[in-house]
Amino acid sequence: MADQEIRDDPTPAAPPAATPAATPAEPVTTPAAPPAAAAAPPASTRPKRVSYRGRTAGAKVSSNQKEGKVEEFEPFMLLPRGPPPLKEFLDIWDVDVLKQPQQINKQGHHTHLYSSDSLIVRRAQEFQIKITFDRPYKPAEDKFAVEFVIGPSPQYSKGTYIPVFPTEERQSVWRGRVVESSDNVVTMGITTSAECIVGKYMIYIGVVTPYGIRRTRRDPSTDVYILFNPWSPADPVFLDDEEEREECVMNELGIIYHGAYDDVSERAWNYGQFEFGVLDACLFIMDKADMPLSNRGDVVKVTRIASAMLNSRDDDGVLVGNWSGDYTYGVPPTSWTGSVEILLDYAGSRGTPVCYAQCWVFAAVFNTFLRCLGIPGRIVTNFFSAHDNDGNLKMDIILDENGKLDRNRTKDSIWNYHCWNECFMARSDLPPGFGGWQVVDATPQETSDGLFRCGPASVAAIKHGQICYPFDAPFVFAEVNSDVIFYRRQKDGTLEVAKVNPSHVGRMVLTKAVLHDGRRDITDQYKFPEGSPEERRVLEKAEEFGCQRERASVPQGDVEVEIPNLDVRVGDNFDVILKFKNQSDQRRTADVYVTGTVVYYTGVPSAEVVFKTPKVKLDPQQSKEEKVLVRGEDYMHKLVEQANIHIIATGKIKETGQIITAMKVILMHNPKLIVKVTGSPRVSEEMYVSVEFTNPFKFNLENVDLRMEGPGIMPFKRKQYSLIAPGTSITWTETFSPRRAGSTKLIASLDCAALRQVYGETELTVKQ
């Protein structure tokens, strides 16, 4: 008919054929029911959804979960002449995708640790399936294909329908061969392309008959997940170091660094990327992001989307950031011990953002996402991090005319530390030289260009100041390179630059060592040494690309002050020591202001706890110490989580007008949990773990939450105590039964409004 109407979701009149040949047609699919036209609301309200009619020829293909229906029989257009021949064609009795963890596929593809009943393999590497026919396979006469289908609208040209042929003469974009053929059983070897879509595919076997294609039915037991492959040189995520792969892909246990650069704290974490349900949760995240399937083979796009999806700002992402101290209706960020609960919660609720996270939680869950999909990933911690930086290199601190810190005017805050992710990939979208580790930061920037995502940005490019290459490199560059600029108000009320500290920010970048619990200092991956000519060139190049710096030159002074580190247990009294050194040959008198402020780890002040104004007289060339007492009773009731006190000492030298400054973050060390395991650690044996804690303070701890988990041995568990009185101890005991062998840990945390971030762990090695 000439006037055939084409509806939004057309039903084909005559199904086309699909045979094993060079580039076959897609199977006929019956798409989902046509979407109802969006009900148009009055113009005064905000219409959210408009029908896509007229805008695109079909619905967007961005769901892995939806399944396009595949026809079981597709007749050919042209029927053969003459009477129908006797039944000659192959019939399929069984398809075995060899999916047991101990079989060749999972062992060879390093996917044996996933808790999954499905086959899981990696791309660009051969895996095998066994097809049992009704009679022996005759290559010259029998034509069949193994067909891989993903999503609601399979199309060969979009990479969502891929047939794999057994013979050399006809090959598609994925390679196939007959590994073995004996009796009725054919073992096919299948190798995907190195850039195929990462996700969950359906498998069909299609056999050519004289009348059309006959296919197996939909069989979820043969579904296969295809992941990124750091073991294959053809894959952009190829990482040519087996130990790094063991650490950054296969290790479920991590250590996240925090605290202060000269008093580093550690927090163990269960990434749990192999736990049941986590892989599906990661695919769900990409579906929730509405990410087109055809983009999901591109690791740059996957990591960029995930950077946005990890935070809930403007896209219903996984985690809600909350630094306020009020976590009434969620889990305090310091309480989590692993990623699994978070991801299962998110996927299970069909995408309700999980409360709450701070930077390490965003980073940890993102790390799980990366490792689960096969992208090598690790968490790094940058000490003194200029987050929220507008991409410029200036963090301002305002002092009044006497050199006292003016908190009202000081709006910038430098984070004591910040955690982000690195993922490993080639960057074919950039000029050569910028592959390798890439920064991705899932913690929302308050002042980025409105986007709550960051990266991937090449670490090599950041080190060399080449910040013009995508994505978001200026933000990361500023995070590790900003100058701290002290402005001082003068006697007549004017402001001028008093001091520029170019080495405070980005003091140290740490990540966990490979395959043991040590630290790796990777600062030199991000920055040339302070004061080196390369460093100077890099900063100039960054300025060329628009990063603003403070150019004022401040005359050198001749008095120095510094504050050495302290080891303080929370609740203790302690002395802050200021060490002065007069480097001149004259007397110097310093009017000093010492302010101690409880700060969040973001550097945002909460409450001042000490304020002293010592006058320090220094003879020529003299060194002198001044002590300032800080008492537990002054700060205990004002501590916020993470128990940091920020000491800033500033002052003016009477004789010269020089401004001196020193800053120090003092960590209060919390009590610890004692975790003990009893029983003989074997797979499937019943074992016991106990967590002990004693309240060392003089006040009650109320509504106390304990959490515990251990990769491969114990899923996450919780327990609550309504009250732990001063001096009393609690012991929480659980049983568990290890699921798999190997070295692992049990990680526990304790959390309540009055005391956060109490941790404990124990290692154990499970035998078979």
Among positions 381-400, residues that touch a copy of itself (CB under 8 A) are: 388, 390, 394, 396, 400
Residue 483 known to bind ligand: yes
Are β-strands 483-489 and 394-399 bridged in parallel, bridged antiparallel, or unpaired?
parallel
359 given a catalytic annotation: yes
Among positions 173-212, residues that touch a copy of itself (CB under 8 A) are: none
Is residue 605 a contact residue for a copy of itself (CB under 8 A)? Answer: yes
Cβ contact 20:169 at 8 Å: no
Pick between residue 50 and residue 723 the one whose CB is nearest to a copy of itself: 50
| Window 322-361: contact mask with a copy of itself (x via CB under 8 A) | xxxxx-xxx------------------x--xx-xx-----
Q: Which of 515, 607, 629, 725 lies at the binding interface for a copy of itself (CB under 8 A)?
A: 607
The DSSP result for 643-681, as a single string, is: -EEEEEEEEEETTT--EEEEEEEEEEEPP--EEEEES--
Pick between residue 269 and residue 471 the one whose CB is nearest to a copy of itself: 471
Pick between residue 492 and residue 585 the one whose CB is nearest to a copy of itself: 492
Is residue 316 a contact residue for a copy of itself (CB under 8 A)? Answer: yes
Which residues have CB under 8 Å from 103's CB, separation 6+? none
Is residue 409 a contact residue for a copy of itself (CB under 8 A)? Answer: yes
134 given a catalytic annotation: no
Is residue 168 a contact residue for a copy of itself (CB under 8 A)? Answer: no
Distance CA(545)–CA(522), nearest Å, equals 25
State the nearest-atom distance from the C-beta of 155 to a copy of itself, in Å. Answer: 7
Give me the catalytic one of 109, 387, 418, 504.
418
591 given a catalytic annotation: no
What three-state secondary structure class fits 420?
Answer: strand
Among positions 266-295, residues that touch a copy of itself (CB under 8 A) are: 289-292, 294-295
Is residue 555 a contact residue for a copy of itself (CB under 8 A)? Answer: no
| Region of residue 522 (left: phi > 0; alpha: psi -120 to 50; beta: else) | alpha
Residue 625 known to bind ligand: no
Are β-strands 161-164 and 92-96 bridged in parallel, bridged antiparallel, or unpaired?
unpaired
Are β-strands 519-521 and 559-562 bridged in parallel, bridged antiparallel, or unpaired?
unpaired
Is residue 157 a contact residue for a copy of itself (CB under 8 A)? Answer: yes
Cβ contact 234:274 at 8 Å: no
Among positions 14-73, residues that touch a copy of itself (CB under 8 A) are: 16-19, 21-26, 37, 40-47, 50-58, 60
- Nearest 5°: the CA angle 508, 509, 510 is 115
C-alpha atoms less than 13 angstroms from C-alpha of 240 in its C-beta half-sphere: 6
Give me the catalytic one of 441, 472, 558, 751.
441
DSSP H or E run through 633: helix 632-635
State the nearest-atom distance from the C-beta of 23 to a copy of itself, in Å. Answer: 4
Q: Pick from 241, 256, 252: which is nearest to 512 by CA?
A: 256
Is residue 321 a contact residue for a copy of itself (CB under 8 A)? Answer: yes
Distance CA(476)–CA(453), nearest Å, equals 12
Among positions 240-259, residues that touch a copy of itself (CB under 8 A) are: none
Cβ contact 267:379 at 8 Å: no
Could you tell me the two tokens for 379?
């968490």
State the nearest-atom distance from the C-beta of 118 to a copy of itself, in Å. Answer: 28
Distance CA(27)–CA(613), nearest Å, equals 81
Among positions 421-460, residues that touch a copy of itself (CB under 8 A) are: 428-431, 446-447, 449-451
State the nearest-atom distance from the C-beta of 442 to a copy of itself, in Å. Answer: 14
Residue 530 known to bind ligand: yes
Is residue 556 a contact residue for a copy of itself (CB under 8 A)? Answer: no
Among positions 651-670, residues that touch a copy of itself (CB under 8 A) are: none
Is residue 315 a contact residue for a copy of itself (CB under 8 A)? Answer: yes
State the nearest-atom distance from the C-beta of 714 to a copy of itself, in Å. Answer: 24
Cβ contact 106:145 at 8 Å: no
Distance CA(256)–CA(275), nearest Å, equals 20
Q: How many residues bind a copy of itself (CB under 8 A)?
A: 137
Is residue 723 a contact residue for a copy of itself (CB under 8 A)? Answer: no
Would you please indicate which residues are annotated as catalytic (active-site) residues? 359, 418, 441
Binding-site residues from annotation for Ca(2+): 481, 483, 530, 535
